[in-house]
Amino acid sequence: MPEVGSRSVLARAEFPAFLGAIRAAGYEIVGPTVRDGAIVYGPISTPEDLPEGWTDRQDAGQYRLERRSDRALFGYNVGPHSWKKYLFPSRERLFTAHRDGDSFRIAPEPVEERRLAYLGVRACELAAIRIQDRVFVGGAAVDPGYAHRRDNVLLVAVQCGQAGGTCFCASMGTGPAVTDGYDLALTELLRDGRHEFLVDVGTRRGAAVVDGVPMRAAGPDDVRAMQACVARATQSMGRTLDTTGIHDLLVSRPESPEWDDVGRRCLACTNCTMACPTCFCHSTEEVPDLAAERVERWRRWDSCFNLGFSELHTGSVRVTTPTRYRQWLTHKLATWYDQFGSSGCVGCGRCITWCPVGIDITAEVRAIRSAPERRPEAKAP
């Protein structure tokens, strides 16, 4: 069995065997696949399910797929889905209460039997998973569903060889290099007519999966090629975000005229919060059956951009779009530190790409830095 920390090289021809080994270890594979003109996450059975030879072109409010000149399996960045689709599903039943005379009995949720392997987790996504871990299993209360799925997932990371038009993971310190938090990490290497993958073994679980998969030991050339990939990705970042003093900056500018500015453009459509891999806000609702014999409590994604999100008996606290945008941005980049000890942003760029009006979080931070603290008062002539 390969050692943890060891590096091997897998030939493209053996990629089906690699997928087979993951399945033989008891995992269902989910990963990137082309659907409806985008690269989304779905079931993967064979390498043909992967976006072979595709890349993505992303900019503010823009996303399209383009053909590559090679046949790379992972030659793109991230699409509208994130792994929270599986770890923190958009709808999840928390429990079922059965009528028991005048009272009720809680039936525990059946433990999910299936184990998933996430194939193609980028560095920014590993960071996002770490951030959501802190919310759902890192505090005083542990979410059993999330904890179970998290404990049983196989994380197969993929090193980015290029950055996307809206990527800024380098600014957020979350990439592009995949450093830890994975069971296995792949770097796709296309050179001299060869198509191979450098395989990093991160954990014993990962080692057990690839035990027996035909690979050769990695040599210094292979490692150099991997480092060149990382360098290419680092140099091609589509965006930058200056994080200098960002917590105090945002917390101290509640009256910035920029909030009104962006608030006028923002549609409060909640695309950004749905696409964001770290957004965790959710609501609960109770669903009785017709005979009122059973009541299910469900959890579903919510968004701070919704008017009712901040509702009190006297009305909502954040009535206008500017106040809601301020809440989202300040939380994501500043007060997340106060609440969870880190930034909430991993620089994946999804909120920029998927905003229908092209609002760019990196540009907004720049605007707030340069805007006055508050709208200047009209002066008497």
Partner 1 sequence: MSINSEPSSGSAHAPAGEPPLAPIPYTVLTRTVDTPDTITLSLAPTGSARLAPFVPGQFNMLSRLGHGEAAISISGDPTRPYVLLHTIRLAGLGTQAIASATPGTVLAVRGPYGRGWPLDRARGKDVVVVAGGLGLPPLRPLIYEVFRRRSEFGRFEVIYGARTPSDLVFYSELQQWRYRSDSRFQVTVDAAGRDWYGDVGLVTLRIPDARFDGPNTVAFLCGPEIMMRFAGEALAARGVPPEEIWVSMERNMKCGIGQCGHCQLGPYLLCRDGPVLRYRELAPLFRIRGL
**CB-based contact 104:95 (threshold 8 Å):** no
CA distances 42 to 34, 78, 262, Å, are 9, 13, 34
Length, in residues, of the chain: 381
Using the contact rule CB under 8 A, the part of the chain among 184-192, 249-257, 359-367, 369-377 near partner 1 is 249-257
Residue with smaller CB distance to partner 1, 52 or 92: 92
Q: What share of the chain is helix, strand, coil (3-state, %, to 5)?
A: 35, 25, 40
Query: Which one of residues 203, 236, 320, 342 is an interface residue with partner 1 (CB under 8 A)?
Result: 320
Walk across the sheet containing 194-201 and list its strands: 38-43, 27-35, 115-121, 154-158, 184-191, 194-201, 7-11, 216-217
Least distance from partner 1 to the Cβ atom of residue 110, Å:
8
Query: Which one of residues 18, 83, 136, 168 is an interface residue with partner 1 (CB under 8 A)?
Result: 136
Least distance from partner 1 to the Cβ atom of residue 177, Å:
30
Bridge partners (DSSP) listed for residue 197: 10, 188
Size of the site for partner 1 (CB under 8 A): 52
Residue 26 engages partner 1 in binding (rule: CB under 8 A): no
Residue 245 engages partner 1 in binding (rule: CB under 8 A): no
CA distances 374 to 228, 247, 369, 377, Å, are 46, 18, 12, 9
Residue with smaller CB distance to partner 1, 55 or 327: 327
Residue 268 engages partner 1 in binding (rule: CB under 8 A): no
Residue 97 engages partner 1 in binding (rule: CB under 8 A): yes
Can you read off the two tokens belonging to residue 92?
């999840």
Residue 148 engages partner 1 in binding (rule: CB under 8 A): yes
Residue 94 engages partner 1 in binding (rule: CB under 8 A): yes
**CB-based contact 360:237 (threshold 8 Å):** no
Residue with smaller CB distance to partner 1, 52 or 302: 302
Residue with smaller CB distance to partner 1, 231 or 319: 319
Residue 377 engages partner 1 in binding (rule: CB under 8 A): no
Residue 261 CB neighbour total at 10 angstroms: 16
Using the contact rule CB under 8 A, the part of the chain among 168-176, 235-243, 322-330, 351-359 near partner 1 is 322-330
Least distance from partner 1 to the Cβ atom of residue 304, Å:
7
* Listed residue (119, 226, 146) closest to 179, CA to CA: 226
Query: Which one of residues 32, 79, 145, 206 is an interface residue with partner 1 (CB under 8 A)?
Result: 145
Least distance from partner 1 to the Cβ atom of residue 343, Å:
14
In whole angstroms, what is the distance from residue 248 CA to residue 240 CA?
19
Using the contact rule CB under 8 A, the part of the chain among 64-72, 73-81, 309-317, 368-376 near partner 1 is 309-317
Can you read off the two tokens belonging to residue 30?
């989910």
- 277-306 residues in contact with partner 1 (CB under 8 A) are 280-288, 292, 295, 302, 304
* Listed residue (149, 213, 163, 204) closest to 15, CA to CA: 213
| Backbone phi and psi for residue 285, each to the nearest 5 degrees, phi listed first | -145, 155
Residue 251 engages partner 1 in binding (rule: CB under 8 A): yes
Can you read off the two tokens belonging to residue 266?
């923002």
In whole angstroms, what is the distance from residue 218 CA to residue 229 CA?
16
Least distance from partner 1 to the Cβ atom of residue 345, Å:
15
| Backbone phi and psi for residue 280, each to the nearest 5 degrees, phi listed first | -125, 0
| Residues binding partner 1 (CB under 8 A) | 94-95, 97, 102-104, 106, 108-109, 111, 135-136, 139-145, 148, 251, 254-255, 280-288, 292, 295, 302, 304, 309-313, 317-320, 323, 326-327, 331, 335, 338-339
